[in-house]
């Protein structure tokens, strides 16, 4: 099945003005880029805002604006000259309740990445040499460390402002949408990260797309997402650090099992429903057991993966 990324004047403009297009003849500075990535660690109050902008189908009604927020710490899990792993953890300011949130991995000149090619399926593909040269690939993962999306782009530092803009890529619906919507099943997106005096921001230029079994696509609407991470010293994040101290080694084992599928073709297919709760619940319960001082055997992790995870099939590949 051939899948084409969503088009549009805005997305075309973003791609043409992105670092991939502008810096083709420039010299990369991976160490400066790495320091920019590491600058995203820290303690933040986060505001999430999503607004549908351009409506693309007759009769389509603009969805209500979505607003939410939280307290989030970003922890460095791995730091090498060519790879940085950042784990996000939410903390409720009143109760101190901790929730392991999303993860972002950054790899310099990555040879391959996973791409959302069909429902619950991510195909591992080589990144063209011209695309990955001098660029960083960001891959984003679910709370269970299941894959979500990757994007590749170059950092720029013009006028003292550090920006990273991705290429256009596919992602599944976010939780805020698939719990309410069934009229589309994929998002094509460009992401931009920017360091600011008070923290950093994550902009999302999304197109909501219905991908049909025959390979055709219907673009419903465009959406702008704005996630604003503002540094704070007013929130007690100690519960998050206690959680990670107790469970960090466990989640490293979980990541290793995901990597066995995502580090090489063909990729991975999940047998869970779209919410992924069939995996999230047992993995979170195992992590909670460790917090309580109990033991979790490796075979318990393996049992979860054996039940719900399998290699992707080659015929689910989305053509470039």
Summary mean pLDDT of the chain? 92
Using the predicted structure, report yes or no on whether residue 1 has a pLDDT greater than 70.
no
28 within domain boundaries: yes
Mean pLDDT of 167-196: 95
- Determine the distance from the C-alpha atom of residue 307 to the mean position of all C-alpha atoms in its chain, rounded to a whole number: 24
320 confidence band (pLDDT: 50, 70, 90): very low
2 within domain boundaries: no
293 within domain boundaries: yes
Count Cα neighbours of 124 within 13 Å in the Cβ-side half-sphere: 17
* CA distance linking residue 141 with residue 158, whole number of Å: 29
* CA distance linking residue 237 with residue 91, whole number of Å: 7
Tens of pLDDT along 227-267?
Answer: 999 999 999 999 999 999 999 999 999 999 999 999 999 99
Tens of pLDDT along 13-28?
Answer: 444 344 444 443 445 7
Percent of the chain with pLDDT over 90: 87
298 within domain boundaries: yes
4 within domain boundaries: no
The full DSSP string for 191-234 is EEEEEETTEEEEEEEEEEEEE-TTS-EEEEEEEEEEEEEEE-SS
Using the predicted structure, report yes or no on whether residue 271 has a pLDDT greater than 50.
yes
20 within domain boundaries: yes
pLDDT for residue 5: 54
1 within domain boundaries: no
Q: CB–CB of 221/61 below 8 Å?
A: no
The domain of 224 spans 9-316
pLDDT for residue 209: 98
The full DSSP string for 174-190 is PHHHHTT--S--EEEEE
138 backbone dihedrals φ, ψ, rounded to 5°? -100, 125
Q: What global pTM score does this model have?
A: 0.90
- Determine the distance from the C-alpha atom of residue 76 to the mean position of all C-alpha atoms in its chain, rounded to a whole number: 16
* CA distance linking residue 110 with residue 113, whole number of Å: 7
Q: How many domains does the chain have?
A: 1
Which spans in the chain are helix H?
Answer: 9-16, 19-22, 30-38, 129-132, 175-178, 238-262, 277-291, 298-308
Q: Is 137 helix (H, G, I), strand (E, B) or coil?
A: strand
pLDDT for residue 4: 52
* CA distance linking residue 175 with residue 69, whole number of Å: 14
3 within domain boundaries: no
Mean pLDDT of 74-90: 98
């Amino acid at each position: 099945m051939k899948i084409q990324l969503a088009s549009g004047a805005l997305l075309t403009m973003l791609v043409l003005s992105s670092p991939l297009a502008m810096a083709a003849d420039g010299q990369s500075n991976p160490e400066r880029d790495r320091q920019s990535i590491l600058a995203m660690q820290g303690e933040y109050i986060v505001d999430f805002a999503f607004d549908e902008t351009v409506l693309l189908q007759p009769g389509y009604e603009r969805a209500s604006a979505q607003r939410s927020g939280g307290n989030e710490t970003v922890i460095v899990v791995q730091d090498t000259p060519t790879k940085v792993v950042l784990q996000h953890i939410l903390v409720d300011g009143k109760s101190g309740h901790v929730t392991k949130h999303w993860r972002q991995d950054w790899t310099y000149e990555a040879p391959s990445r996973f791409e959302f090619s069909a429902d619950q399926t991510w195909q591992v593909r080589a990144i063209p040499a011209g695309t990955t040269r001098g660029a960083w690939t960001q891959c984003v993962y679910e709370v269970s460390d299941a894959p979500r999306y990757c994007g590749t782009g170059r950092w720029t530092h013009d006028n003292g402002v550090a920006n990273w803009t991705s290429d256009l890529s596919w992602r599944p619906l976010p939780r805020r949408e698939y719990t309410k919507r069934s009229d589309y099943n994929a998002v094509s997106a460009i992401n931009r990260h920017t360091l600011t005096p008070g923290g950093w921001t994550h902009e999302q230029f999304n197109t909501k797309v219905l991908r049909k079994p025959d390979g055709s696509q219907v673009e419903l609407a465009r959406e702008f997402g704005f996630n604003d991470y503002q540094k704070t010293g007013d929130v007690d994040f100690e519960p998050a650090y206690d959680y990670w101290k107790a469970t960090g080694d466990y989640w490293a084992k979980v990541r290793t099992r995901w990597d066995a599928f995502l580090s090489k073709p063909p990729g991975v297919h999940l047998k869970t429903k779209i919410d992924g709760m069939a995996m999230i619940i047992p993995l979170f319960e195992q992590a909670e057991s460790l917090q309580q001082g109990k033991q979790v055997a490796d075979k318990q992790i393996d049992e979860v993966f054996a039940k719900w995870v399998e290699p992707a099939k080659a015929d689910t590949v989305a053509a470039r």
